[in-house]
Amino acid sequence: MEEKKTFNDLGLSAQSLEAINKKGFEEPTPIQALTIPVMLRNDTNIIAQAQTGTGKTAAFGLPLIEMISADTKTVQALILVPTRELAIQVSEEINSLKGSKDIRTIPVYGGQSIDQQLRSLRNGVHIVVGTPGRVIDHLNRKTLKIGQIEHLILDEADEMLNMGFIEDMEEIMKHTNADKRTLLFSATIPTKIRELAHKYMKGYELLTVKKETLITNLTEQIYFEVKSHDKFEALCRIIDIEPDFYALVFCRTKNDVDSVSAHLKDRGYDAEAIHGDISQSQRERILGHFKKKKVNILVATDVAARGIDVVDLTHVINYSLPQDPESYVHRIGRTGRAGKEGTAITFITPSEYKRLMFIQRFAKTDIKKAKVPNVGDIINAKKKKIYDDLAVILAEKIDAKYYEWAKRLIGEREPAEILGAVLNYCFEEELNPDTYGIIKDSGGQGRQLEQHGKARLFVALGKKDKIDARKLVDLIMSRVSIKSQYIRDIQILDKFSFMTVPFEKAEEIIGSFKKKGQKPLISHVKDKR
């Protein structure tokens, strides 16, 4: 079996490797491993067969950043994309990969103010990411000059062909210089694309990723469509509604793994994290705890999860949609083993639906849409588990001291009243619906507030004020009668912080910190989601 390449093997500079590390990516996807070294050679044109969601933006973005000269503010690269959404996405991704290098990238597309684009172009840019129509508009206005570019990239070329942009693509290519390098990305290579390449690309190297045999033996595959900021709340609901939850939770980057596992621990779940920065001794200790079920949730990257062989996982959770279909199949193949039923759950944002459907077709599988469990169902599931646990205890011999205690209590109050008080004492926090946040549906229309609801508060204190989550909770509790577990989703930034509290406690908290004639220390956050 061929050993997987790392980013260090691809010829990238230390500056690029640092930017990759900051983003938390651990290893290149197959198309990145193929494309980056060839593109860095800068001696041939390239046709790369790659689907959306396989990491192709970084495949051409990283070497492009290496080869762009920041010393001159002329357009050195033009990236053509079929839609405005992709123009924005590609531009943002390149900006996130450039690190400290002073490279200016702008998207140009229809629907955005042309005056804003003109100002940016006049100020000087290195990389333009544009839709064909708007690029031609700038060429006609002579506000975009591409006669001396070094790189032309056609992203999702077959999609542009399907949308009727073939003539626009040809028109744009006529305005470019013959000595540029051209890189064409396409999920398929139809005849029209080959003709375009033959006409405008004098020789090219064809790069294709080998497809693995994909076999799944999974009992059930489902997906939830949620906003990014609701993923964690959805994860907590899934954990709580399952009586014997034992799962791998996959994130795309090391940073995401650390964040999700830390938040799970903050909420009292038994969770651990593994990724590429974990030492071998730590890895062995964490895996030992997981296999012995001392922890029931392991948050991991694809790289770190290699070699984990646990046959009785109940769930695999794709907290982040994987970058390629093979990764999806490898992830979900870890449950539903040894004749035991398992469930694979994938979280997607509305914009990721197309990628998920591609994965479904590629893997020849069926991924069904489901709804995130509501709070009422979770509370009922918890009550059932408590009832079942009590039935087990009642079937066993109970220590005499508890009988004596019970008799004394019943002599003072009604049995139902006593039992109700005991249940309240033991399960008040566990059965309180206010411990759950609100999840808005993917269409943007908020569901009705669950039970009493939540309020998101702004706090005018941050890291510069030597505040952390623990100190903030202690500060709130010193002013208001509230239990620590009701102060949730705390986010501490440099100059300010956020927290979520029960709706009915919000005004009391805000009022307790008000000082006449001064800006409020705590206030409501206007919900713009």
151 located within any domain: yes
378 located within any domain: no
Count of domains forming the chain: 4
Per-residue pLDDT, 358: 86
In a shared domain, residues 138 and 20: yes
- The count of other CB atoms within 10 Å of the CB of residue 463 is 13
Q: Give me 273's structure tokens.
A: 């994290």
- The count of other CB atoms within 10 Å of the CB of residue 430 is 14
pLDDT at 215 over 70: no
For the entire predicted model, the pTM comes to 0.56
Per-residue pLDDT, 445: 34
In a shared domain, residues 20 and 160: yes
Mean pLDDT, rounded, for 194-198: 87
* DSSP type of residue 287: H
CATH number, domain containing residue 488: 3.30.70.330
CA distances from 359 to 207, 219, 324, 337, 376 (A): 20, 17, 8, 21, 33
In a shared domain, residues 151 and 237: no
Per-residue pLDDT, 2: 56
Per-residue pLDDT, 208: 87
pLDDT digits (tens, 9 = 90+) for 132-178: 999 999 999 999 999 999 999 999 888 888 788 889 999 999 999 99
- Pick the residue with more confidence: 478 or 427? 478
Per-residue pLDDT, 244: 86
In a shared domain, residues 185 and 232: no
380 located within any domain: no
pLDDT digits (tens, 9 = 90+) for 478-510: 999 888 878 888 888 888 898 888 877 888 899
Q: If we measure between CA atoms, which residue out of 290, 292, 294 comes closest to residue 249?
A: 290
Return the sign of the alpha-carbon dihedral for residues 473, 476, 478, 482.
negative
448 located within any domain: no
Residue after which a domain boundary falls, among 330, 349, 373: 373
Least confident of 190-204, 305-319, 360-374: 305-319
CATH number, domain containing residue 66: 3.40.50.300
pLDDT digits (tens, 9 = 90+) for 382-399: 888 888 888 888 888 788
In a shared domain, residues 235 and 345: yes
In a shared domain, residues 18 and 151: yes
27 located within any domain: yes
447 located within any domain: no
pLDDT at 207 over 80: yes
In a shared domain, residues 399 and 268: no
- Pick the residue with more confidence: 454 or 250? 250
Q: If we measure between CA atoms, which residue out of 247, 377, 234, 418 comes closest to residue 317?
A: 247
In a shared domain, residues 109 and 22: yes
In a shared domain, residues 263 and 303: yes
Separation between Cα atoms, residue 133 and residue 165, nearest integer Å: 8
In a shared domain, residues 339 and 229: yes
Residue after which a domain boundary falls, among 332, 352, 373: 373
**Structural domain of 408:** 385-433
∠ CA 24-26-28 to the nearest 5 degrees?
Answer: 120
In a shared domain, residues 353 and 257: yes
pLDDT at 457 over 50: yes
17 located within any domain: yes
pLDDT digits (tens, 9 = 90+) for 26-81: 888 888 999 999 999 999 999 998 766 677 899 999 999 999 998 888 999 999 99
Residue after which a domain boundary falls, among 373, 405, 421: 373
Q: What average pLDDT is seen over the chain? A: 85
